[in-house]
Amino acid sequence: MDPDIAKIAELAATALATAAGALVLWGIARWITARTARPTVSAQRESLDDSRLARLETAVDAIAVEVERISESQRFATKMMAERAKKEQVLPGEPR
């Protein structure tokens, strides 16, 4: 084999190994960076989730109050209709 070709092949193999090693190291560094940056993102998200949960609880409480008002109104209307029906009820033997 020609010594020049052997030298070129050796340089190409060295360049390929260096590039592969750099790529692996870059991936490891990126993974470590992502792992260490995650708690701050998680803490921010947790505070957002807490505020959303508080707003949701407030909304559910407001809805519960409104549903109670609606049910009380329904009970009142039913009672009034029953009393009216009782007053309008014609007993047997009474003139109309």
Per-residue pLDDT tens over the stretch 33-70: 888 876 665 667 777 788 889 999 999 999 999 999 99
* CB distance 90 to 96 below 8 Å: yes
In this prediction, residue 96 has a pLDDT band, given cuts at 50, 70 and 90, of low
Measure the CA–CA gap between 68 and 22, rounded to whole angstroms: 67
Q: Which residue has the higher pLDDT, 96 or 80?
A: 80
Measure the CA–CA gap between 54 and 60, rounded to whole angstroms: 10
Give all strands (DSSP E) within the chain, no chain letters: none
- pLDDT exceeds 80 at position 80: yes
Average pLDDT in the 17-35 region?
91
Q: Which residue has the higher pLDDT, 94 or 18?
A: 18
Using CA atoms, how far residue 80 sits from 41, 69, 70, 83, in Å, is 58, 16, 15, 5
Lowest mean pLDDT among 5-14, 19-28, 37-46, 79-88: 37-46
